[in-house]
Structure 1
C-alpha cells in the first residue's frame, strides 16, 4: 500500500497532520514498524528507537507519539500525548538515530482500554518552520503542557491537540509513522 494512502485510509492525514513528507523509522526491540502495522501492546512497553536519515546536523526536532482514540475513534476530547521529547540525530553515521536533548513528556506505552478496539498510535517528527523555539538549539521555548511534566499521568496527557501544539511552536512535520494496537497482550486482536 502507498504510504500516503495508508495515512489517509486511517484518517490520520489531514486530520492530525496535513501531509506525510517522509516515513519516520520507529522500531521496538530492534523491529521496525511499517505504517499501519498491528502490534500487540506487550511489544510497546519500552520506549522505541527512532531514526531519521534526512536529519540536519545540529538541529533539534520534536518527537511526539499520540493516541487519538482514547474512548472512541477520533475522540472529540482530543488526543492522548504518549511521548514528547526534543531530540537530535546522529548525522555522522548511517543510522541517524535520535539522541534525547530534553524530555517534555516521558514515554507511556500503548494503553488501549479493554473493549475500546484498535487504537492508532501516531508518531510525528517536527522541526521549526523557519524561526521558532527549536531552531538553532533554542529549545527553551517548548514548555510542558502540565505542572506534572515530564512524569504526567494519563489524565494529564488527555485533551492534547497536535495541530494546535505544532502551530503554537511554529513547527512542521518532516516525518511520521503509525501503528495499531489493542488491549490484548499477545495478539493484535
Structure 2
C-alpha cells in the first residue's frame, strides 16, 4: 500500500467542491416540479489488506426492479432508524456483502450525488485494514468483487458514452475494468473522487 494513500484520501475529501448528479453531462434535462430527494448512503470501501489497494463493488441482482445487473457500491436509502448516512452505508454494507460494521475506518464523505431516481446519495469513503470474507445477499447482490483502486483513480480511464433512455439520448461516465462495466452514478461518483485525488 502506498504510504501516503490515507493522507491523500483525507486531503482530497477535505477539499471544497460541489456535488455531482446524473445530469452533469445532460444539461438540458427538465426535472419535475416539486421533486423531493430522498437521502441515501453508499460505502466506497478500499481494501488495503492485500497490499495493492482495491475498491469493493457489487453486481446487483438481475432480479431487482431498479438497476438490475448494474455495478454499484454497497448502500441504499436512509432508514428512519439510521443515525445518519454513514450509518446507512455501514448497515447496507453489512446486509449486502457481510461487511462487519466495525471493520471500515471512515475517512470522510464526498459531496452528495443526485440521481435520476430522486436520491441524494452521500458516498462514505472508508478503508479496510483487515480482510473479510464477503457474503453476497442473494436477493440483492449477484457478485461481490474488487478492482484496483489505481484504475478508478486515474482520470484517463474514464470515457463518456451514451444510450437512449425514455426516448432521449443520455450521456454518462463509464470506467470499464475487465468484464465489469462500471457506469452511471457509480462511475460519476468515482470520477469525482479521482478528480479530487489528482488536483
Give me the TM-score of the superposition, normalised by structure 1.
0.33
Q: Which has the bigger relative contact order, CA under 8 A and spacing at least 6?
A: 1
More helix by share: 2
